[in-house]
Amino acid sequence: MGGTEGGRVLDEAAVAGDPLDQVRRWLADAVAAGVLQPDAMALATATPDGRPSARMVLVKGVDQRGLVFYTNRDSAKGRELAANPRAAAILHWQQLQRQVRVTGGVERLSEQDSAAYFATRPRGSQLAAWASHQSQVVASRGALEDRFAEMEQRFTGEEVPLPPWWGGYRLEAEVVECWQGRPNRLHDRLRWTRQGATWRLERLAP
């Protein structure tokens, strides 16, 4: 990654005491700057024997405990999280020369919380959640589209309910690192480590 834009710096005296507050600030900055898909997040999971995998998801909330996202629980990532409920995530905003890394345990959100979010999704996305057995082999594109048409027919004239295999997760932040690009590759890296109810803040060499 390169340098910095607009003289942005990451200084211990100016950052939030709670790193999740800092993540919210930076996410808001990315939205205000018109960054394409500012909520895109790389999520890495692993099997119990240490085989890693990663994919892009959308972060749908940042609270005082961590980052919230939603997915099919029977997908590859859902199965991995069921067996090994730990993950790492990266948010990257190239336009702002900023990156956030978060690691920690992962917990499932309640069905009530998952249903509340599912109700806000576009109807097409709701139907797709029913139609797609995510990460499983599908015979053809046509078979997938036929399944979608079946779901359209099934739920004609009614609200699409939450699929029993679909829901939310929270990556509970244990370590958060914010990275700000600076000239000459002397980038700013600040790392917060959770210590009970407080956080320890340290600067890392770039």
Per-residue pLDDT, 7: 53
| Dihedral sign from CA coordinates of 63, 70, 80, 92 | negative
Per-residue pLDDT tens for 94-150? 999 999 999 999 999 999 999 999 999 999 999 999 999 999 899 999 999 999 999
> Who has greater pLDDT, 1 or 173?
173
Pairwise CA distance, residues 108 & 164, whole Å? 13
- DSSP string over 51-100: -EEEEEEE--EE-SSEEEEEEETTSHHHHHHHHS-EEEEEEEEGGGTEEE
Q: Assign 3-state DSSP to the chain and report helix, strand, coil percentages, each to 5.
A: 30, 35, 35
pTM over 0.85? The answer is yes
* Topology, domain 1-119+165-206: Pnp Oxidase; Chain A (2.30.110)
Number of H helices, E strands in the chain: 5, 9
pLDDT of 6 over the 90 cut = no
Pairwise CA distance, residues 126 & 112, whole Å? 16
Centroid of chain to Cα 51: 20
Core vs surface per residue 66-87: b (16+ CB within 10 A) or e: bbbbbbbbbbbbbebbeebbbb
Per-residue pLDDT, 8: 87
Quote the DSSP letter at residue 158: S
Per-residue pLDDT, 3: 39
Per-residue pLDDT tens for 21-80? 999 999 999 999 999 999 999 999 999 999 999 999 999 999 999 999 999 999 999 999
Residue 200's contacts (CB-CB under 8 Å, 6 or more residues apart) are 192, 193
Q: Is 191 exposed, middle or buried (0-12, 13-18, 19+ CB in 10 A)?
A: middle
Residues recognised as catalytic: 185
pLDDT of 20 over the 70 cut = yes
Per-residue pLDDT, 2: 41
Pairwise CA distance, residues 144 & 152, whole Å? 13
Give the residue extent of every domain in the chain. Answer: 1-119+165-206, 121-161
Q: 15 with 178: CB under 8 angstroms? A: yes
